[in-house]
Structure 1
Amino acid sequence: MAGNQTGSISLICTANAAAPGGHYAQAVVHQGVLYVSGQLPIRADGVHSADQPFEVQASIALDNLVAILSAAGRSTSDLLKVTVYVAGIEHWPAFDRIYAGYLGEHRPARAVVPVPALHHGYLIEIEAVARSG
């Protein structure tokens, strides 16, 4: 597993997802559970995508989630709970279609929360909880 060890909490960090923009880790593992911080649709190289269509933003945010899961030795089939913040509930059908493409038959618990706005003008942010090995 990638990351630094701090007591019984392992910090997960990968260059294959957007670097944290503040004082937080991309993800942490504690007692067999992986907690993934909210992922905005910022590309791994730091390029912002707030000017891109919702579908592009959703794919980038999901790519970040998948990269962090991979860095922790996990996959989307290990997801237990996903929370999605969407600026505008009208994006829900597009998100559901894209999300299903990433997760296939796996169906973790999920909440889609409509919000009036997200940081930097983004249209989506995704956080997740997964089992860890």
Structure 2
Amino acid sequence: MRCAWEICYFSGELCTLPNTSKLIAGGIKNGTQQTMDNIQASLAKHSLTMNDLVKCTVMLADIKDWPAFNEVYTGYFAKNFPAHRAFATNGLALSTRVELECIGVLSR
């Protein structure tokens, strides 16, 4: 994550277990939950919350995973959802099924 001009950029967020490069076991729902937990933990380190996110780009190994991904993703937001879009790709880092890139805005 990098913060500049009160904008925070999160790139390449994966479903890795904390402090490792090991992917969490399970399908897209488990992977999405771990990825979102990782983003939430990164935000917290900078006194931010999920509500500070304004845009997320979702990369999926299979676009058919979109409904299951979105079911988990939407549960992380109490109110205004950040704008988000998704696309399928042919190969993600560490052969994961989901990767997120997000932009957050400091609201101070």
The reply to whether TM is greater than 0.5 is yes
The 4+ residue runs of structure 1 with deviation greater than 3 A are none
Instruction: Provide the C-alpha distance between the structure 2 equivalents of 1:54 and 1:109, rounded to a whole number of angstroms.
Output: 21
Residue correspondences, number: 107
Flag the structure with more relative contact order, 1 or 2, with Cα contacts below 8 A and sequence separation at least 6: 2
TM value normalised by structure 2:
0.91
Partner residue in 1 for 2:33: 59
Question: Cα RMSD (Å) of the superposition?
Answer: 1.4
Gaps in structure 2 of 5+ consecutive residues: none
Instruction: Provide the C-alpha distance between the structure 1 equivalents of 2:96 and 2:29, rounded to a whole number of angstroms.
Output: 12
Instruction: Provide the C-alpha distance between the structure 2 equivalents of 1:69 and 1:50, rounded to a whole number of angstroms.
Output: 20
Partner residue in 1 for 2:59: 85
1:50: how far off? 5.9
Q: Does the aligned pair in 2 maintain the 1:83–1:126 contact within 8 Å?
A: yes
Larger Cα Rg: Structure 1 or Structure 2? 1
Gaps in structure 1 of 5+ consecutive residues: 1-26
1:33: how far off? 0.6
TM value normalised by structure 1:
0.75
Identical-pair percentage: 25
